Amino acid sequence: MNSLGFDKRPEETRVVVAMSGGVDSSVTAALLKREGYDVVGITLQLYDHGLTVGKKGACCAGQDIYDARMAAEKIGIPHYVLDYENRFSDAVMQDFADSYLAGETPIPCVRCNQRVKFRDLLAQSRELGAEAMATGHYVRREAGRAGAELHRGVDPRRDQSYFLFATTPEQLAYLRFPLGDLPKTRTREIAAELGLAVADKPDSQDICFVPEGGYARVVEKLRPGAAEPGEMVHVDGRVLGRHTGLINFTVGQRKGLGLGDLNEAGQPLFVVRLEPETRRVYVGPKQALAIGTLSLREVNWLGNPGELTENVAVTVKLRSMTEPVAARLTLGPGGTARVVLDEPQFGVAPGQACVFYSGSRVLGGGWIRREAAAKAA
């Protein structure tokens, strides 16, 4: 049995590595090649080069494609660039715009993994005769009694399991994550030891197709006329002023409200709710952000078949950079779920993900619904 779990020698096992041009995927390819695997590198061109060429911290465009090609050449593996621009636009960018217009705060990185990398690229890997596809994500894939399980990466500062909750059991059976047991510092050391030019390349930041964090500008470009003005309303019903478009706001936002950002008591105001039907932005004190119950859609379940799925004690992550908090989970029909938090949480934004854990294991997750988020008592 080789290190990827196949009963054959590494040189008889073909593996496709999704190479973004960064240090993580480059080291993934290099480690597998060093073990003797038949490695093929593939880089996806996902969006218009003109949008982000030269932007630090982007991925999957101009400079990054070049970096991936140079890394593959250094490692000594074949490398291919596939034009997925139209697929990415249809599956990710359009959804991003629609989500913002619906008053949500989307996570396009999850959609990209779900609809492009782990669906279309995985299918392409099979067509190339690969028995597995590897990525540079900091997560672990472990063998369980009912099949492959997804677990958090050992380095809590780099764990990316939040972004992979939508991975299906079938996809997980095919995927491999060689960096899951490494800290990021060790990955960079390995890159330097192997002479890879990307050893010191900055990590990708923010959303790849959004230049300099300008979310509203991208939405306006995808949906001309989307920035319609409306009222700024206090949660007590008072109209406080006007805004220039819902796409400029997200739940939990404090700065840039144009209201002096303070209430009568000198406390900061926050965006509490977005109402696209009336184009209203509701603001209020921090306590108005408290949420005790969440309703989810498009739930992906990675737990074992036949396990209890009602009032299950779990921990959940509501943002990628926060620690999991205790909750009770009940799965419903049609890919829905209800999550009751042990303690109220603040600034939970519709459109974000709620990911379920049991210890280090990812049990799945879903998207937070706007209309069904319930305030804490």
Give the domain CATH number at 350: 2.40.30.10
Q: Where are the alpha helices (DSSP H) in the chain?
A: 23-34, 49-52, 62-75, 85-88, 94-101, 108-112, 122-127, 169-174, 184-193, 215-222
Bridge partner list, 41 = 17, 79
Task: Mark whether 53 and 72 lie in a shared domain.
Answer: yes
Q: What's the structural domain count of the chain?
A: 3
Domain closes at, from 213, 240, 259:
213
Residues 125 and 189 in one domain: yes
Residues 44 and 186 in one domain: yes
Q: What is the pLDDT of residue 321?
A: 87
Residues 187 and 282 in one domain: no
Instruction: Tell me what pLDDT residue 376 has.
Output: 41
Residue 4 domain-assigned (yes or no): no
Q: Give the type of residue at 125.
A: S
Residue with tokens 């006329």: 225
Place of tokens 């049995």: 1
Within-domain flag for 3: no
Residue 225, Cβ density class (10 Å: 0-12 exposed, 13-18 middle, ≥19 buried)? exposed
DSSP reduced 3-state for 43: strand
Q: pTM score, two decimals?
A: 0.90
The answer to the question of residue 281 being in a domain is yes
Task: Look at residue 377 in the predicted model and tell me its pLDDT.
Answer: 36
Q: What is the chain's alpha carbon radius of gyration, rounded to the nearest angstrom? A: 22
Residues in the chain: 377
Q: For residue 218, is it within any domain?
A: no
| Whether residue 20 sits in one domain with residue 88 | yes
pLDDT value of position 205: 64
What is the crossing angle of helices 23-34 and 184-193, to 10°?
Answer: 60
One domain, residues 365 and 282: no
Indicate if 203 and 255 belong to the same structural domain: no
Please state, in angstroms and rounded to a whole number, the distance separating the CA atoms of residues 264 and 295. 33
Q: Count of H helices and E strands in the chain?
A: 10, 18
Please indicate, yes or no, whether residues 251 and 192 belong to a single structural domain of this protein.
no
Positive or negative, the CA dihedral 310, 314, 315, 317 is negative
Is residue 149 assigned to a domain? no
Question: What residues are labeled active site?
Answer: 112, 208
Asked whether residue 295 falls in the same domain as residue 200, the answer is no
- Asked which of 165, 189, 213 is the last residue of a domain, the reply is 213
Which residues span the domain enclosing 90? 10-136+178-213
Question: What integer pLDDT is reported at residue 206 of this predicted model?
Answer: 61
- Indicate whether 150 belongs to any domain: no
Per-residue pLDDT in tens (0 to 9) along the chain, 377 residues? 999 999 999 999 999 999 999 999 999 999 999 999 999 999 998 876 444 444 444 455 578 899 999 999 999 999 999 998 888 988 899 999 999 899 998 888 899 888 888 888 999 999 999 999 999 999 999 999 889 999 999 999 999 999 999 999 999 999 999 999 999 999 999 999 999 999 999 887 667 777 666 788 888 888 988 889 999 999 999 999 999 999 999 999 998 888 875 666 678 899 999 999 999 999 999 999 999 999 999 999 999 877 778 999 999 999 988 899 999 999 999 999 999 999 999 989 999 999 999 999 999 999 999 864 434 43
Residues 266, 363: one domain? no
Q: What is the CATH number of the domain that holds 248?
A: 2.30.30.280
Residue 193 lies in a domain: yes
**173, part of any domain:** no
Could you tell me which residues come within 8 angstroms of residue 275 by beta carbon, excluding any fewer than 6 positions away? Answer: 103, 281, 282
Q: What pLDDT does residue 46 have?
A: 85
Domain co-membership, 59 together with 187: yes
- Domain boundary at 245, 261, 288, which? 288
pLDDT at 226: 85
**Shared-domain flag, residues 29 and 84:** yes
